[in-house]
Structure 1
Amino acid sequence: MNAQSDNTKAIFYGLGAVLLWSTVATAFSLSLKHFSPTQLLLVANLVSLVFLICLIVLKGETKQLIQLAKQSWKSSLFFGAINPFLYYLILLQAYDTLPAQEAQVINYTWAITLSFMAVPILKQRLKTADYIAAAACYFGVLYIATRGQIGALEFSNASGVAFALLSTIIWAMYWLLNTKDTRPSLIGLTLNFLFALPIILVYAAATGELTHWDNAGLWGAVYIGFFEMGLSFVLWNKALKLTSNASQVANLIFLSPLLSIIWLSQFAGEPILSSTLIGLACILIGLFVQNWSKRKIK
């Protein structure tokens, strides 16, 4: 009965994280009307860092945080340069140049990217299902990128699509390298955001983006920092720790892009494109094939 209760709680925690993630594309879209990607990243990183440090203080792990900050500053700087700095900077550029619905759907192909990058980095082998999943996912990306005009191969915004695809490579690389990270997950994430802050500040100063702030974008950036970069991580981790069936929780992520498109149409005023829906269907089919094959092996 206790295990069943924990699984139920895990589903609720997982749904909470997915619900928050589904609102992020809308928050990105609205905030980028007032902030540049660099400004948005700076504020969101700062808010998330404050939230994570408060969480660590409440858990009584402050001494461990300080100790690991001294011991692992090189790895913290390295991981922080990848995520949040490089990953979110590239991702926000994608959102700044593409309709948010297109950017967020393309970003969901990172799991396929991870499978292919795991071959050289972790020496893993690809299976037939991986190739089928990749074909479905990248056909979906191509359909979205061309707005359904695949035969003409006329891209609606080639640079935006490139940014979105590059973000999947960076995110996949981060998680593959993260498998060798020995720091506790919460403390490791906090240190990443801590050591990324001066990098973001220097970059913002070098690009002249520490001036001309539009206060209308502030609350969106605070929302992203608190919910997308902070609270959702805590909820998702909690869900994975409570559940006895990780696949059941992981499959909840399929709800996020569907909900996201609804929120974008309702709150950001983006008309839902048929090409996005068809492309999303292809990507979800690909991700389902990949997940199904892994579950079958287990």
Structure 2
Amino acid sequence: MTTQLRATATVKNDQRALLLGLCAVLLWSTAATAFKLALRELSVLQLLCVAIWISTLALLITLAWQGRLELLWRELCATPLRFLAMACLNPLLYYCILLAAYDRLPAQQAQTINYTWAIMLALLSVPVLGQRLVSRDWLAVISGYLGVVVIATEGNPFSLQFTSVVGVALALSSTVIWAVFWLLSTRSKGDPTISLAAYFVCAAPLSLALCLVWGGGLPEVGTGLLSAVYVGLFEMGFTWLLWSTALQTASNVSRVGNLIFLSPMLSLVFIALILGEAIHPATLVGLALIVPGIILQQRSSSATS
């Protein structure tokens, strides 16, 4: 994806990109709240199944509207095992681990820890892509994971007494899965929307099997089911299309990309207002360490690229 697009109708395109980007960030900011609402009534595998199926349907409808379903079929037939392997990584494994973390941790902790995936991406780029970390990268890593410890121990980092050791481990593991998926997906030369739809098409029947065998069966109609539908539409599928379109429409990708830093703070607002979680001061301190770490790491990547 190029940083600069053609200069024609720049103002119009940038305005549209900004609007789409803000909409995507706003919707993503509600994801943590929707996760917790759904998990009050559903098991992890039930939530996973419903969300994946809803997202799959949304992506297929989008491609049908664009007249590109045939292209999806051709791509699936060309490399079915690759798409299946990637689907097992994301959305299946990634969201299964992430939702299990949310099931064990307060929403404010799970969502903020998960936000360190960008720092994990920098670490994994060393063995996977052969990149070299400079001093600025290491400062970003230290800052980010110090923030994780502050959040997970609720402001007592030296006590090392976590709200849930398993929950924190799962939240950090989800960042590894996402970073690996991201690094592998960068090697794909195909259309990102087609690839995303293919991953979900492959994951849908597997998620149903997991739900029926180990997840307690299909969920009943209620708040949990509605929340799972919301997750499928606005965390996994539709919002990604908004964000992708915003980046493609912008004359400068970084201007839209920086909007993502609004997400964790907005998410805390929804968590407090809807879930009724009292935001712990340690969460804000940890976030104040994580976000600058991510910004520092991104600037370092830009400087060395």
**TM surpasses 0.5:** yes
Specify whether residues 217 and 208 from structure 1 end up closer, same or farther in structure 2 by C-alpha distance, changes over 3 A only. Answer: closer
User: What's 1:256 paired with?
Assistant: 263
Q: In the TM superposition, what are the counterparts of 1:119-198 in structure 2 within 5 Å?
A: 119-198=126-205
Give the superposition deviation at 1:292. Answer: 2.6
User: What's 2:32 paired with?
Assistant: 25
- Work out the CA distance in 2 between the residues paired with 1:100 and 1:3: 39
- Work out the CA distance in 2 between the residues paired with 1:26 and 1:99: 10
Give the superposition deviation at 1:213. Answer: 3.9
Q: 1:267 aligned to 2:277?
A: no
What is the DSSP-based 3-state SS (H/G/I as helix, E as strand, rest coil) of the residue aligned with 2:204? Answer: helix
Which 4+ runs in 1 deviate beyond 6 A? none
Q: 1:107 aligned to 2:117?
A: no
- Is the CA contact (8 Å cut-off) linking 2:46 and 2:219 kept in structure 1? no
Give the superposition deviation at 1:208. Answer: 4.8
1:189-244 CA deviation, whole Å, 9 max, x = no partner? 11100111122122223315215646331110111101111111111111110112
- Work out the CA distance in 1 between the residues paired with 2:168 and 2:221: 27
User: What's 2:247 paired with?
Assistant: 240
1:59-105 CA deviation, whole Å, 9 max, x = no partner? 11111111112112111101110111000000000100000010000
The normalised TM-score by structure 2 is 0.94
1:69 to 73, 76, 92: 76
- Work out the CA distance in 2 between the residues paired with 1:197 and 1:115: 30
Higher deviation after alignment, 205-214 or 276-285: 205-214
Higher deviation after alignment, 262-271 or 205-214: 205-214
What is the DSSP-based 3-state SS (H/G/I as helix, E as strand, rest coil) of the residue aligned with 1:172? Answer: helix
Give the superposition deviation at 1:287. Answer: 0.9
- Is the CA contact (8 Å cut-off) linking 1:34 and 1:214 kept in structure 2? no
User: What's 1:223 paired with?
Assistant: 230
Could you list the runs of 5+ residues in structure 2 that have no partner in the other structure? Answer: 1-7
1:288 to 286, 290, 295: 295
Q: Which amino acid aligns with 1:261?
A: L
Q: 1:87 aligned to 2:94?
A: yes
- Is the CA contact (8 Å cut-off) linking 2:14 and 2:251 kept in structure 1? yes
- Is the CA contact (8 Å cut-off) linking 1:46 and 1:225 kept in structure 2? yes
- Is the CA contact (8 Å cut-off) linking 1:138 and 1:283 kept in structure 2? yes
User: What's 2:3 paired with?
Assistant: none
1:36 to 43, 46, 62: 43
Q: Provide the aligned C-alpha RMSD in A.
A: 1.4
- Work out the CA distance in 1 between the residues paired with 2:233 and 2:259: 21
The normalised TM-score by structure 1 is 0.96
What is the DSSP-based 3-state SS (H/G/I as helix, E as strand, rest coil) of the residue aligned with 2:48? Answer: helix
Q: Which amino acid aligns with 1:163?
A: L
Higher deviation after alignment, 238-247 or 105-114: 238-247
| Percent of paired sites with the same residue | 43
Q: Which amino acid aligns with 1:98?
A: L
Q: Which amino acid aligns with 2:109?
A: E
Q: 1:4 aligned to 2:11?
A: yes
